[in-house]
Structure 1
Amino acid sequence: MKFIVVTGTSRGIGFELSKLLADAGYNVLALSRNEEPIKSIAHKNITAFPFDVSSSEDREKVSKYLKDKNGKVIALINNAGILINKPFLEITEDEFKSVYDVNVFGVASMTKLIVPFMDEYGHVLTISSMGGIQGSAKFPGLSAYSSSKGAVLTLTELLAEEFKESGPSFNALALGAVQTEMLEEAFPGYKAPVSAKEMAEYIMDFALKGQKMYNGKILQVSSSTP
């Protein structure tokens, strides 16, 4: 079976993306700590089970599932992420580490897990943030989040170089503000110019076709300049 693997599918972009891919006929492996929202739509093309990207035990479950299905992965979309909005002097060491566990180490571990199930035409797409782009506008309180999003951009470039002879391709999208639950939690009352579904449509198209034109690239997906 051929799959597209999406992390962080309980809400926002990941939820909308999973539905769009499934409606287009792709088998979607939707992974999130809370699988109930995506399971509740009961889509025949979506397989979902509880999954924490920072858990080695949960990652092993994914590996076993793909092996049992003799699965091939067309694309991995590293979408899972957490955000803590807290002044640098107030954020605890455990809180800072928790952001990196998901946003950086989770991405690295998930990628390491899935790449063996891909061929040279596969695409590893990591969802990052404009906050991780050097020279872009920065916001106080996001020291852990934005620095973690910068780390995965460099990781994307490194992996593209390491796998350039054999594939798959690696790219990252640095998103601007999108109207999601996470944005509302970080900046209550702020209204973004782009909906989660609109961004999911863009990500879907790029995940399926972007590797034909790009590898090791960071694309800024924002209607405003840095």
Structure 2
Amino acid sequence: MNKTVLITGTSRGIGFELAQLFANNNYSVLALSRNTNTLQEIQHPNITTFGVDVSNENEIDSVVDYITKNNIQISGLIHNAGKLINKPFEQLSKNDFKEVYQVNVFSVALLTQKIIPFMPQNSHVVTISSMGGVQGSLKFPGLAAYSSSKGAVITLSELLAEEYKEQKIAFNVLALGAVQTEMLEEAFPGYEAPIKPSEMAKYIFDFTTTGNKFYNGKVLEVSSTTP
């Protein structure tokens, strides 16, 4: 029987590449994103797409219903969806902070809560964070909401690793440096990253499938350049 992974933020960039990579390696993929067109066009038999806003609990519940009805066990959960607002700090509204934290922190906590009951021993929860969220790393103006949210999710993962170690569910974080995605363009217009989304997806695939043998509650800095 194919193992199943659930991946958020699969409409573009790293998530889009990741969904295909898992599917091509005989995993069943539950792909969550607001826009499902890009993956639906591929029509891969191993990918089931869900048009879901991860910050909407009712929409998340529809995925949980599907998992329950089909008696699915989730061996890997990859929190890849992200929201970035690039603005000078004094122009950031309470709502800007809310929007960013809703996707980058609250939805990660909510989805994890709802998926854990379907995760057998030796499952792996991987959260995609950013170098900007790592304490002591170089910080960039305009990213106060984004980078602080990415720091929050690191601490959350460290805590969950401790809380679920008896259940043998591993929690790790990959703090990514620059990858040539649309989100990088939003953060650093005109900057060209040395790593393509497909290359980073390959790294994340390998880490998700084997990293929990070696790591739990860890933050790995996956960065060759700054930004």
* Band of TM-score, shorter chain: over 0.9
| Cα distance in 2 between the residues matched to 1:102 and 1:28 | 21
Which residue does 1:94 correspond to in 2? 95
Question: Which residue is equivalent to 1:15?
Answer: 16
CA distance in 1, matches of 2:165, 2:151: 22
Task: Give distance in 2, aligned partners of 1:49 and 1:13.
Answer: 17
Are residue 36 (structure 1) and residue 18 (structure 2) matched?
A: no
Any conservation in 2 of the 1:2–1:71 contact (CA below 8 Å)? no
Question: Corresponding residue for 2:194?
Answer: 193
Q: Determine the C-alpha separation between the residues in 1 that align with 2:226 and 2:141.
A: 19
Q: What is the TM-score normalised by the length of structure 2?
A: 0.97
1:2 deviates by 3.6
Deviations 1:172-215 (A, max 9, x none): 00000000011112221110011000000000000000001100
Per-residue deviation, residues 89-122 of structure 1 (Å, max 9, x unmatched): 0011111110000000010011111111001210
Unaligned stretches of 5+ in structure 2? none
Q: Distance in 2 between matches of 1:146 and 1:207?
A: 23
Identity over aligned pairs, percent: 61
SS of 1:5's partner is: strand
Which segments of structure 1 move beyond 3 Å, counting only runs of 4 or more? none
Secondary structure of 1:31 counterpart: strand
Contact 1:176-1:223 within 8 A present in 2 as well: yes
RMSD: 1.1
The answer on whether the counterparts of 1:103 and 1:148 sit within 8 Å (CA) in structure 2 is yes
Q: CA deviation at 1:54?
A: 0.7
Q: Deviations over 1:34-76 (max 9, x none)?
A: 1111111100000002011111101110110001110000100
- 1:140 matched to 2:141? The reply is yes
Deviation at 1:225, TM superposition (A): 7.3
Are the equivalent residues in 2 in contact too, given 1:32–1:52 (CA < 8 A)?
A: yes
TM-score, normalising length from structure 1?
0.98
* Gap runs ≥5 in structure 1: none
